Amino acid sequence: MSEMIQSKISTYIVDDEQHAIDTLSDSLQQYDGIDLIGTSKNANNARKSIIKLKPELLFLDVEMPGQSGFELLREIRKDVDTPFFTIFYTAYEKYVIQALRESAFDFILKPVRETELRNAIERIHKKRKAPDLPQQDITGSFPNLGEIIALPTPTGLRFLKKNEVALIQHEKKPGWSKSYWFASLFNQEVIRLKTGINSTQLFRFMGHQNFVQVNQSVIVNLNYVCNIEIKTRRCVMLPPFNHTNLLISRNCMANIRERFEVL
């Protein structure tokens, strides 16, 4: 068989929103090397179909009711013994680090741009022809995600990427006699920080580019903020942090308005 002739990439889409499936399906139709063999809006049904069909490429949404795309991928890997590529596509940039940890082949933001989709498919074709080629670092499109910081904890230093931190807040946990600073991470892990530091030091340490101090007890990462309400001074976080009730102090609101040139 000629080296130029290569089988199509069998592809499966999992997304709980039909319009997202339709949009991606239409985009994939322009590629002769893609064979879309199925779609699903339900993670459980998707798992059964994927185990049966064994597609070579999966497009997985992240936030889905009942089971996330990450959880679905872990289950599939237990039951599918053939190699496959996984591309997470989601509206939230914050999941790129977890996608890395799940060894995804690529990560694409919604709405899917044609250039990013084409690049991902071309890379898969190259990988199929030369399996020993290294996978691309999918943080390349998000340069700010690569900065490593060391959070001071009671036992030492916790090294992680800066944008893994969703918010830092000072609070007293139930049953504790003292209040402490805690860092909440993208995966909902909570890290207790060492005593003897204050909000000004933490805010200066985290840097002003992606972080906003909303009051003396809370610093938030703007990548996880959905809305800041000027009149009520409420800061609304994206899921799964949307249960956090944050009120912005008057001084901090004044700083936010000045920073973002809000009249």
Say what the pLDDT of residue 143 is. Answer: 39
CA distances, 103 to each of 98, 107, 136, 233 (Å): 9, 10, 11, 40
Say what the pLDDT of residue 4 is. Answer: 40
The C-alpha atoms of residue 13 and residue 107 are separated, in whole angstroms, by 14
Q: What sign does the CA torsion over 240, 241, 245, 247 have? A: negative
Say what the pLDDT of residue 11 is. Answer: 97
Q: Which residues make beta-bridge pairs with 89?
A: 108
| Residue 180 · residue 199 · CB < 8 Å | no
The C-alpha atoms of residue 105 and residue 101 are separated, in whole angstroms, by 11
- Does the pTM exceed 0.85? no
Which residue stretches of the chain have pLDDT < 70? 1-6, 130-146, 208, 263
The amino acid at residue 235 is: C
Q: What is the pLDDT of residues 162-198, one digit of tens each?
A: 888 999 999 887 777 788 999 999 888 899 998 888 8
Say what the pLDDT of residue 6 is. Answer: 61
Say what the pLDDT of residue 140 is. Answer: 42
Q: What is the pLDDT of residues 22-36, one digit of tens each?
A: 999 999 999 989 999
